[in-house]
Amino acid sequence: MNVQNITRERHSPDSPISGSPVSDLSSSVVAPQIVMRRTDTAAHIISSEILAGFRAWPVWMVMSWDDIRQRYRRSVLGPFWITLSMGVFILILSIIYSRLFHTPLEHYMPFLTVGYIVWGFISSTTSEACNVFYESAGIIKQIKLPFSIYVMRVVWRNFIVFLHTIIIYIPVAIYFKVTPTPIMLLALPGLLLVLLNQVWVTIVLGIFGTRYRDMLPIITTMIQLMMFATPIMWMVGSAENLRLVADVNPAYHLIEVVRAPALGMAPEALSWIVVISMIVVGWAFASVLMVSKARRIVYWL
């Protein structure tokens, strides 16, 4: 008798039978709710971990300035030691390599100055990105702050160093009579694109570097190899077969959107396309990675 009642209940018109319109309607109602919950979670993580960090700009600016002060504490020149050492290095390197490449010094030294300083910002930010969360482990374990604050702390700290070294180009440009043109203003949006690129690179390498401690020596080695494969000390026009090496090198395009305008030349359209594409794809990947790994970072420290 009980078996018959159960059978009747299963086949009654009021009960949702598998494959019936009622069951299909219930599944179609539940599914969007699950998708919306997942979407809300992803949007919440992006807002709380990335966007909130940008809005808290006074925090990471103060932290970056404090890092610079601690690094050059009790120093007479402070951060300008970087400017002095960089200037001497560029001067000696320009004299030597201009003769090796048979390039006039008035063309080679401005080229090397801008390229090497921009590369210094890119390479230092990239190498320090692997330890971006590890160096702030004490704060992360005690206070809940957006992870992008620590990312911007590293990027802005290296940007401050960049501002101290880029002033070397001013006397170089004056001495070698680099003519100021309106096209030089393109260096500002180019520099902004480099900054945006370094932020997502720091997010990605920071997460991977926290999970896998082998990332730091790997990235350090890659940076050393990339320096010689990038037109920093050699010019693209110095050899015909080097054009392809430059075109497939993303670091070249990052440097070129700043260096070419600084030298009074318009960057190639390919460089703008490559840099903007890197930012779009890189930020999408960084956002996905932050959504999936943000809650695990504190456990990896």
For residues 221 and 3, which has the higher predicted lDDT (pLDDT)?
221
Q: What tens digit of pLDDT does each residue of 238-277 get?
A: 556 777 888 899 999 999 999 999 999 999 999 999 999 9
SS3 content of the chain, % helix, strand, coil (to 5): 80, 0, 20
pLDDT at 83: 85
Between CA 87 and CA 172 the distance in angstroms is: 10
The pLDDT score that the predictor gives to residue 179 is 87
pLDDT of residue 243: 79
Cα(89)–Cα(69) distance, integer angstroms = 24
Who wins on pLDDT, 48 or 203?
A: 203
**pLDDT tier for residue 36 given thresholds of 50, 70 and 90:** very low
> If we measure between CA atoms, which residue out of 95, 173, 101, 161 comes closest to residue 125?
161
* 287 vs 7: which has the higher pLDDT: 287
Q: Give 8's pLDDT tier (boundaries 50, 70, 90).
A: very low
* Average of per-residue pLDDT across 21-29: 37
Closest CA to 125 of 249, 252, 219, 208: 219
DSSP 164-220: HHHTTHHHHHHHTTPPP-GGGGGHHHHHHHHHHHHHHHHHHHHHHHHH-TTHHHHHH
- pLDDT one-digit tens code per residue, 107-126: 999 999 999 999 999 999 99
Q: Between residues 294 and 19, which one has the greater pLDDT?
A: 294
Task: Please compute the mean of the pLDDT values over residues 183-188 and round it to a whole number.
Answer: 94
pLDDT band for 21, please (50, 70, 90 cuts): very low
Distance separating alpha carbons of residues 204 and 269, to the nearest angstrom: 27
Cα–Cα distance, 201 to 211 (Å, whole number): 16
CA distances from residue 36 to 50, 144, 233, 286 in whole angstroms, order as listed: 20, 26, 52, 21
Say what the pLDDT of residue 76 is. Answer: 60
Which DSSP string corresponds to 83-117? HHHHHHHHHHHHHHHHHHTT--HHHHHHHHHHHHH
Residue 147 has pLDDT above 50, yes or no: yes
Are the beta carbons of 202 and 89 closer than 8 angstroms? no
Residue 75: its pLDDT value, please? 67
Average pLDDT over residues 195-207: 96
Task: State the average pLDDT over residues 212-237.
Answer: 90
The average confidence (pLDDT) of the chain is 84
CA distance 167 to 81: 13
- pLDDT tops 50 at residue 70: yes
Question: What does pTM read for this prediction?
Answer: 0.82
Q: Which of 25, 53, 259 is nearest to 145 (CA)?
A: 53
pLDDT, residue 9, reads 42
Q: How confident is the model at residue 12 (pLDDT cuts 50, 70, 90)?
A: very low
pLDDT at 238: 56
Q: Provide the terminal-to-terminal Cα distance of the chain, rounded to the nearest Å.
A: 63
pLDDT higher than threshold 60 for residue 16: no
- The residue extents of the domains of the chain are 50-300
